[in-house]
Amino acid sequence: MRTILYLIRKEFLQIFRDKFIGKAIFGVPIVQMLILVPAVTFEIRNVNLCVIDMDMSAESAKLINRLEGSTFFRIKFTTFSENEANQLLHRNKCDMVLQIPLGFAKNLGAGKPGRIMASVNAINAVSAQLSWAYLNGVIRDHNMNIAAENPGLFSGSAFSQTDVSNRYWYNEKLNYKYFMLPGILGILVTAIAFLLAGLNLVREKEIGTIEQINVTPIKKYQFITAKMVPFFLIGLVDLALGLLLGKLFFRIPFEGSIALLFMCSAIFMISVLGLALFISTFSSTQQQFMFVAFFFMIVFILMSGIFTPVESMPGWAQKFNLINPLTYLMRINRMVMLKGSAFGDISREICSMIVIAIAFTFIAVRRYRKTA
């Protein structure tokens, strides 16, 4: 025990003696929280519109006004040339072209449907779909108004529509920050526990210190524990720091138990520490480790459900996610923070993470050898 404590002290000494890492350990969470949380958002604002109003009627002007009045759209260009509009779309000057053909008002006046056409830049499919949905919303509103202003023009069907009123549970205002922040917290602890711990292990090999250490009576478990514990603790401190920043800057709701959140992150970190140890056993330079670890990080993060729901991934991806510890952590973080889930609600996720943590660590420790 004395040896382990001494070794842990030595690791801390080395971590904080490194002027860059010592600061980065606390700088990274601050930067991640303050930059990523507000920046990574699916909310669409300021969709640049180009309008071709061939009709030039009061009706078309009303529709354009309504679009301009919404927070989503900004009318950047108006033109009469379809060619010019397409050029603008092509050159990325606008995101959407809205064409109101001649006879739009006339058709409406005659009780026929008015036709308009929208061309959307779908380089980014997500934002294209969202702006399309917003446009639909504005036009639906517009339709209701026409019907209300012109009773008798339409048959009663327009009024007897089913009116759906909805409420978004757990995140009423659909605030993306509330959705992203628990996820970013997960990435944060991954970066500390996975990358830093792994690099530290491989560094011993790279600078050759491991060779002399191996010819000492130091036990395998002592060495590994001493390498893991510092990053485990730093990960927990960073998690606390991240939560604090979330509370201070984004007023993130915290419905559940903080202790539960920390416990889950702790289990999670053991599993990624095990994986880091495993990768380090077959890399001999920091560069090799970085390359492999980067691959795992990207796969784990993108498949974890931080951006896109796991449920809509293909079957094989969902199967893979059974061994992706980050998937469980994402779910747990969000459920505990936003929904206030208790231990009983997330016991399945916790058990899965424990199994993964034990498995990863077991494989890694078995592969680790005190030989040249």
- Binding interface with other proteins (CB under 8 A): 2-3, 6-7, 10, 13-14, 17-18, 207-218, 371-372
Distance between CA atoms of residues 301 and 287, nearest Å: 21
Nearer to other proteins, 164 or 372 (CB): 372
How many CB atoms are closer than 10 A to CB 292?
A: 15
- Which tokens hold the place of 323? 């061994």
Residue 81 has phi, psi (to 5 degrees) of -105, 120
CB-wise, 6 or 80, nearer to other proteins?
Answer: 6
Contact 187, 301 (CB under 8 A): yes
Min dist CB 369 to other proteins, Å, is 10
Shortest spacing between CB 197 and other proteins, in angstroms = 17
The Cα 150–Cα 168 span in angstroms is 33
Least distance between other proteins and beta carbon 12 (Å):
12
**What's the min distance (Å) between Cβ of 17 and other proteins?**
5
Q: What residue type is 164 in one-letter code? A: V
Strand partners, 98: 51, 118
In whole angstroms, what separates CA 244 from the centre of its chain?
Answer: 19
Q: In angstroms, give the least distance from the CB of 228 to other proteins.
A: 17
- Tally the residues of the chain: 372
Nearer Cβ to other proteins (71/209)? 209
CB of residue 270 vs other proteins: minimum separation in angstroms? 25
Of 84 and 206, which has the nearer Cβ to other proteins? 206
CA dist 302 and 298 (Å) reads 6
Nearest to 190 by CA among 17, 333, 34, 41: 333
Transcribe 157-170 into DSSP letters.
GGTS--------SS
Closer residue to other proteins in complex, CB, 107/214: 214
Question: Of the two residues 18 and 255, which places its CB atom closer to other proteins in the complex?
Answer: 18
CB of 233: closest distance to other proteins in angstroms?
A: 20
| 7 vs 228, beta carbon nearer other proteins | 7
Other C-beta atoms closer than 10 Å to the C-beta of 51 total 23
**CA 328/CA 297 separation, integer angstroms:** 15
CB closer to other proteins out of 10 and 45: 10
Kindly list the distances between the CA atom of residue 35 and the CA atoms of 28, 184, 259, 302, in Å, as whole numbers in the listed order: 10, 11, 26, 19
Q: Which is nearer to other proteins, 143 or 222 (CB)?
A: 222
Alpha carbon distance 100, 60 (integer Å): 7
CB of 2 to other proteins, least distance (A): 8
H/E segment holding residue 136: helix 125-149
Instruction: Indicate if the alpha-carbon torsion angle 139, 145, 148, 151 is positive or negative.
Output: negative
Q: Which is nearer to other proteins, 156 or 217 (CB)?
A: 217
Shortest approach of other proteins to residue 200 CB, angstroms? 12
Torsion angles phi and psi, residue 309, rounded to 5: -65, 135
Query: Minimum Å distance from CB 217 to other proteins?
Result: 5
CB–CB of 194/297 below 8 Å?
Answer: yes
